[in-house]
Amino acid sequence: MDKPRYSIVVPLYNEEEVVEESHKRLKAVLDGCGDSYEIIFVNDGSRDATLEKAKALAQSNARLRVLSFSRNFGHQPAITAGIDCARGDAVIIIDADLQDPPEVMLDMMAKWKEGYQVVYGKRSKRKGETVFKKLTAKLFYRFLNALSDVPLPPDAGDFRLLDRKVVETLKSMPERNRYLRGLVGWAGYRQTAVEYVREERFAGETKYPLRKMLALGANAVTSFSLKPLKLAIYLGSLISFVSFVFLVYVIVQRIANPQIAAGWASLAAISLFLNGIVLIILGIMGQYIGRIYDETKSRPLYIVDEDVRGRE
């Protein structure tokens, strides 16, 4: 097959209920865009029938390629695998659940043709999500931006178009603990947004519950900011100062009034509080040290078990 104009990267994890509809919607949009394309499904160790359905689709679509991991490596490695094998002049990353409408890709393509090298989708509205989900998502992006040394656009996920030059830059970054949005922000280039309404999931359950959102946030902060370590220094200095002042106060009180009974309960509470702060600081430091250890192992970010090329 000739080199495509666009490569569409779609990570899949237990998406048996949506993979066929996702392929149908993507193909309809891309067939009408007027340019050549390829679709890359990356099966991230799904435990349901996702892989079988994706491979069946490839039997009737020469533009579809299916990569399947040997196990579940995670959303970011799945995106990375798709980017690594994408051949297009522009690469578009989109999830399979159809919350990000494939039709928005046409707007991204138009912006790319205007000269923008990164076009990210910005959610103006979220349908079908609880108030708690919307609130935590909003707080997540604001908190992340406050801590990150790299400016990240709010309300923007991994749904975006990347120019080939940006793709090659990302491929040159060897780090294992990847946070695509941060890497793209760090790389720079001409960027713009396309606003859209995020739809409800076509079917199935979200693959990013609160637990995974928190883990993603921790990964993003430790990847692109030293502020938690600086905060630990400031917090430790403040507590040391307050403890010193309190010590002086206790000594003065003891000298002024020797009859005051020893406050074992208050001392125990203070000791537990300070020990808790120390453990938090050690935990923050451990996160950074753990990342260094992880990088030194030099294991592959993902392992491809199957590579199925589509055919008519």
Nearest to 89 by CA among 73, 66, 109, 106: 109
User: According to the model, what pLDDT value does residue 65 have?
Assistant: 92
The three-state secondary structure class of 16 is: coil
| Helix/strand number for the chain, H first, E second | 10, 8
Residue 212 pLDDT > 70? no
Question: Whole-angstrom Cα distance, residue 185 to residue 215?
Answer: 20
Give CA–CA dist 92/164, Å, rounded: 11
Domain 6-225+300-309, architecture per CATH? Alpha-Beta Complex (3.90)
Q: What was the pLDDT predicted at 230? A: 67
- Taking the C-alpha atoms of residue 308 and residue 97, their distance in angstroms, rounded to an integer, is 22
- The residue type found at 69 is F
What CA dihedral angle connects 168, 102, 29 and 61, to 10 degrees?
70
pLDDT in tens, 51-98: 989 888 988 888 999 999 999 888 888 999 999 999 999 999 998 888
| pLDDT cut 70: percent of the chain above it | 66
Cβ distance 218 to 116 under 8 Å?
A: no
At residue 118, the pLDDT reads 92
Backbone angles phi, psi at 197, to 5 degrees: -95, 125
Mean per-residue pLDDT of the chain: 79
d(CA 175, CA 41): 23
Query: pLDDT, tens digit, for every residue of 142-175?
Result: 766 666 666 777 777 788 999 999 999 988 887 7
Supply angle C-alpha 204, 11, 2, rounded to 5. 135
Token digits of residue 226: 């030293």
The pLDDT value recorded for residue 3 is 85
Q: At 90, is the secondary structure helix, strand, or coil?
A: strand
Cβ 306 vs Cβ 66: under 8 Å? yes
Sheet strand arrangement including 90-93: 191-198, 118-126, 156-163, 90-93, 6-12, 37-43, 64-69, 304-309
- Compute the C-alpha angle 112/113/117, nearest 5°: 30
- DSSP string for residues in 121-178: EEEEEE-S--HHHHHHHHHHHHHHHHH-SS---TTEEEEEEEEHHHHHHHHT---SS-
Q: Which residue has the higher pLDDT, 282 or 202?
A: 282
CA distance 21 to 71: 24
Average pLDDT over residues 250-278: 64
Domain ranges of the chain: 6-225+300-309, 227-296
Question: pLDDT per residue over 110-135, tens digit each?
Answer: 999 999 999 988 887 766 566 666 67
| φ, ψ at 87 (rounded to 5°) | -110, -5
Instruction: Determine the Cα–Cα distance for residues 58 and 41; give it in Å rounded to an integer.
Output: 10
What tokens were used for 309? 């090329």
pLDDT digits (tens, 9 = 90+) for 166-195: 999 988 887 777 778 878 888 888 999 888
Q: Which residues contact 223 (CB under 8 A, 6 or more apart)?
A: 175, 177, 178, 179, 182, 291
Packing angle between helix 104-113 and helix 19-31, nearest 10 degrees? 40
